[in-house]
Amino acid sequence: MPTTKVHGIRGRMRMLAAAAGAVTALTGAGLVFGAAPASAEPVDIGGLIDAFENPDGPTEVELAEDMGEIAMQLTLVDGKELTLDLSGHALTAGTIAVGAGSTLTVLDAAGGTGTLIADASSAFAGSAGIDTSEGALVLQSGTIFATGSEGGAAIGGGVGGSGGSFTMNGGNVMANADGGGAAIGGGAAGDSGTVIVNGGTLTATADGGGGAGIGGGAGGAGDEIVFGGGTTTPRAMHPEVSAIGPGLGLHEDGAAFGFIGFGAGATIVFPADGGDQLMPADRWVPISSTITMDAVCTVAGELELRETGLISGAGTLLRSGTGTVDNGGTITLPTANIQPSDRSFVSGRNFAFDYVDVDPVGSEHVYATTFAEGARTLPPGVWNTAEDGSGQTVDAETDLTGFGERTPLYQQSAGTLEVTASATRVDQGGSVDLTAHAWTAGGRDLGDVTADTVFTSSVPTDIVDGNRVAFPTASPHTITATYPGAAGTLTADVVIEVVAPPVRRPARPRRPAPPAATPSRRPAPTRRAASSRPSPSSRPAPSRSRSRGSVSAAPAPAERLENACGGRIPPPSRSKPHPGGRKRPREDWHAR
């Protein structure tokens, strides 16, 4: 059981982190550890067994084909280093044991499609799928499916055995244990040994019996567990056992917890269905990794979240006793899921803000240097540390370093704008005065904002002078008020009915009187020349002969009249009866 003091553990953490960083850097540079050397030759099942059991046999082998069966057991002799290249093939065994002081390196030079299956669940009671209790397993690439039997770890120790050493630089591992063994680490009553994950994807599940996902078996302690890269998902299904750490019975013993280091570049996922995680009292746990916490993490000791450290997810960070979190990184868990949320539990980057303009007043904690990094969203609007806007404006990207433990925020932008007209019905040629009033989105009254509001009309001919609008034409006019709030422009409309003056029907013009008739003189009668007509005296006397057989016709009346008038016929007389019944004497028409 480890008894290293806190400062000693920190020193070992630095050495392990440096080693893990070196491994990660070399892997990223394309230097794949354990790559099959050119001298490796394909082997069949017989050649494979010889390589495992013969100390003088080959140290590098390459599978020529798929081989093995669940009933098969492979044992690497003590003190030998063997590199196994799956070469795209599948190797199946019931259990694989790595001897004392031996190292088995597994890789797949054919692109990572090769698989190693070690399933001890049916034929090898109390055994681990891959037993490393006295040796070491290194995975560079390829995939390992490992299952322990009752009380045995998937990769690590059998019943009563420790985990030995497991290093993962790449590839994929699916490890499952039951009956008291850890998925990766000790068997029942066995300690975890050393587990270093620098890359790849690891899923480690202890289905029950008291073993940790990664760590000690039931009754076993943790030792050295370091995450320097890759993605690891640990699960411990027993309700009193941590996903990472010691097994049942020692899960609250700080000394039994061992050392767990979460280095930069690593991602650890604690799923909601994978059991809780305990950071025990009297232990210091540094985290530079990305932690996805969908489970409950109970902190009874000291958790140090470093600059690159991130705790995210929908889980809960819960204090037990005097547990503390020194946050120098980022926590994006919901505020309600950090209990308590104040600096008595989470110190460092823990900034509380009260939204004064929210009804009821709301608050938020930001466990990061900005709202955005802390996965926090400000309510709509522009927020300032002073009510009158004279303080510091705070938005999603504002650096919160230097802010106090608790800061009030006041909304500076309007959320609602209302425009009012002095009249909504005016005569053509008239005008109205307009006022504008604004409220914040949270309901705080910003008062009269007419001076900062711009008014426009839907009718181009209207005359806008500040907040006064005159209407030369008649029709419905829509007046739009625009308030340039700090968080965005607000508008409001009011419709003014402009009425034309009544139209009067013009009076019908009188017909002009006809001009007075001017009496016209009758033209003087034209006198004919005397020679034109014979005078009556010159006319021959009518013949009165009474010769038989002829009668001389008498002159016509008109002729007689003409003869009597000297050749002119006077107009008919228009004389009226004379009063008294006498006829009016005829006027001489020649005198007219």
Where along the chain do its domains lie?
6-348, 352-412, 414-499
- Six-digit token pair at 417? 């704008």
pLDDT computed for residue 16 by the predictor: 47
Cα–Cα distance measured from residue 45 to residue 288, given in angstroms and rounded to the nearest whole number: 44
Percentage above 70 pLDDT, the chain: 78
Q: What are phi and psi of 224, to 5 degrees?
A: -120, 115
Name the strand (E) or helix (H) holding 43.
Answer: strand 41-43
Q: 344-350 long-range CB contacts below 8 Å, 24 or more apart?
A: 345/299, 345/319, 346/317, 348/305, 349/400, 350/405
* Cβ-based neighbour number of residue 84 at 10 Å: 28
Beta strands in 64-170 (DSSP E): 67-68, 73-76, 81-85, 90-93, 95-98, 103-107, 115-119, 130-131, 136-139, 143-147, 155-156, 165-168
pLDDT computed for residue 560 by the predictor: 56
Most confidently modeled range among 78-82, 411-415, 490-494: 78-82
Please report, for residues 7, 302, 385, 488, the alpha-carbon distance to residue 346 in angstroms, rounded to integers and kept in the order given: 22, 10, 23, 36
The distance of Cα 415 from the centroid of its chain, to the nearest Å, equals 20
Cα–Cα distance measured from residue 576 to residue 567, given in angstroms and rounded to the nearest whole number: 27
Of 32-46, 112-126, 218-232, 460-474, the one with minimum mean pLDDT is: 32-46
Taking every pair of C-alpha atoms in the chain, what is the biggest distance, in angstroms? 202
The set of residues, in sequence order, having a beta carbon less than 8 Å from that of 34 and lying 6+ positions away, is 83, 105, 106, 107, 138, 140
Return mean pLDDT, the chain.
85
Q: What is the DSSP string of 141-184?
A: SSEEEEE--TT--SEE-STT----EEEE-SSEEEEEE-TT--SE
Q: 46-55 long-range CB contacts below 8 Å, 24 or more apart?
A: 48/74, 48/91, 49/74, 51/82, 52/76, 52/77, 52/82, 53/77, 55/79, 55/80
Name the strand (E) or helix (H) holding 101.
Answer: none
Query: Regarding predicted confidence, which is higher, 188 or 124?
Result: 188
Percentage above 90 pLDDT, the chain: 66
Nearest to 539 by CA among 563, 559, 568: 563
Angle at 353 between CA 348 and CA 356, to 5 degrees: 165
Query: Regarding predicted confidence, which is higher, 29 or 421?
Result: 421
CATH of 414-499, one of 3.30.1960.10, 2.60.40.1080, 3.30.390.10, 2.40.50.140: 2.60.40.1080
CB 163 within 8 A of CB 192: yes
pLDDT computed for residue 39 by the predictor: 60
Give the pLDDT mean for 367-390: 91
Cα–Cα distance measured from residue 180 to residue 174, given in angstroms and rounded to the nearest whole number: 18
CB 306 within 8 A of CB 270: no
92 has pLDDT over 90: yes
What confidence tens digit (pLDDT) does each residue in 65-75 have?
999 999 999 99
pLDDT computed for residue 289 by the predictor: 96
Most confidently modeled range among 8-12, 15-19, 142-146, 473-477: 142-146
Residue with token string 């030792």: 223
Residue with token string 């426009």: 456
Most confidently modeled range among 333-347, 504-518, 577-591: 333-347
pLDDT computed for residue 7 by the predictor: 38
Query: Regarding predicted confidence, which is higher, 3 or 484?
Result: 484
Please report, for residues 73, 241, 481, 586, the alpha-carbon distance to residue 188 in angstroms, rounded to integers and kept in the order given: 21, 13, 76, 171
537 has pLDDT over 70: no
Three-class SS of residue 23?
helix
pLDDT computed for residue 580 by the predictor: 54
- Six-digit token pair at 269? 């996922």
CB 293 within 8 A of CB 276: no
pLDDT computed for residue 557 by the predictor: 56
pLDDT computed for residue 412 by the predictor: 79
Nearest to 177 by CA among 203, 139, 143, 138: 203
Residue with token string 């390829």: 142
506 has pLDDT over 70: yes
Please, what's the b/e burial string for 413-432 (b: 16 or more CB within 10 A of its CB; e: otherwise)? bbbebebebeeeebeeeebb
Residue with token string 């202890």: 206
Cα–Cα distance measured from residue 342 to residue 277, given in angstroms and rounded to the nearest whole number: 21
Cross-strand bridge partners of residue 395: none
Cα–Cα distance measured from residue 73 to residue 92, given in angstroms and rounded to the nearest whole number: 9
Q: What is the DSSP string of 288-337?
A: -SEEEE-SEEEESSEEEE-TT-EEESS-EEEE-TT-EEEESSEE-S-GGG
- Six-digit token pair at 13? 């953490």
Amino acid at 239: P
- Six-digit token pair at 530? 């005397």
563 has pLDDT over 70: no
